[in-house]
Amino acid sequence: MSGAFLHTVFDIAAWLAAAAAVHWLSRRRLEFPAQSFALPYVAALVFGAGLGAYLFGSVNLWLSGQSGIARSVEGALAGGIVAIELYKWSAGIAVRTGSRFALPLALGIAVGRLGCYFAGLDDFTYGTPTGLPFGHDFGDGILRHPVQLYESAAMGVFALLYALAVLNRNGFVVTNGFYLVLVYYGAQRFLWEFLKPYGTLIGPFTLFHLLSLSILLYAAFMLATAPKARSLHERAVA
């Protein structure tokens, strides 16, 4: 099978995994903001994510000395965040609406990155050369860091920990899960960027270093200013 075909298969699998996560959460009888399923909200999210994916993906490609159009998961995440914050501001929505997306996001990235791994060199998500025994030859005879698998494993760990927190009815994690996954994603992505062959933008830092740091700081601010979450057990008996 070609790398492009496998990438598409895992892209579809990632969306299905995210949908399964939404369904699993719905069966846990958790309270999530209704605004995040409103049509204008979803439209803003899709538009922002699509624009961010191609904008940041393509700019990073050009900064790395390559031509063409590319898309980026992190770019989609950043674009979606900006679009939703602008939409909420324009609509006068003060409630925080991202909590239902924590598990779907983590699980979707964990599955989707496998497609990046199987896509090989054409995907331009591989790592820098390494002498470590688990280096992977993507077809050019050079052992490289399989950073796609690093990220997949890291996000899989978050998804597992989040699911356990849900089963334990942890109110703080459920209420602030989206910002927790953003902090976690931004931190681990910042580290993996040092193992990628991307062109730098400021000093040793690539575009995605700066984007990862921006996402992390945004989420940290939202966590620091979050209202105190009630225990889910308290809600059940209130």
Dihedral sign for Cα atoms in the order 24, 217, 208, 58: positive
Which residue ranges in the chain fall short of pLDDT 70?
1-2, 229-238
Which single residue is written with the structure tokens 């575009």? Answer: 207
Give CA–CA dist 35/119, Å, rounded. Answer: 36
Estimate to the nearest angstrom the gap between the alpha carbon of 164 and the chain centroid: 19
Convert 15-24 to b/e letters by CB count within 10 Å (16 or more is b): eebbeebbee
pLDDT given at position 5: 86
Q: Report yes or no: 232 and 172 within 8 Å, Cβ to Cβ.
A: no
Give CA–CA dist 233/45, Å, rounded. Answer: 32
Report angle CA 228, 229, 232 to the nearest 5 degrees: 155
pLDDT given at position 4: 77
**pTM (two decimals):** 0.92
Q: Report yes or no: 30 and 21 within 8 Å, Cβ to Cβ.
A: no
Which single residue is written with the structure tokens 């992190």? Answer: 74
pLDDT given at position 88: 97
Greatest pairwise CA separation for the chain in angstroms: 63
Q: Report yes or no: 185 and 109 within 8 Å, Cβ to Cβ.
A: yes
Give CA–CA dist 160/24, Å, rounded. Answer: 13
Give CA–CA dist 165/1, Å, rounded. Answer: 38
State both tokens at 133.
């025994």
| Phi, psi dihedrals of residue 219, rounded to the nearest 5° | -65, -40
Q: Report yes or no: 115 and 6 within 8 Å, Cβ to Cβ.
A: yes
Q: Report yes or no: 199 and 206 within 8 Å, Cβ to Cβ.
A: yes
Q: Report yes or no: 97 and 88 within 8 Å, Cβ to Cβ.
A: yes
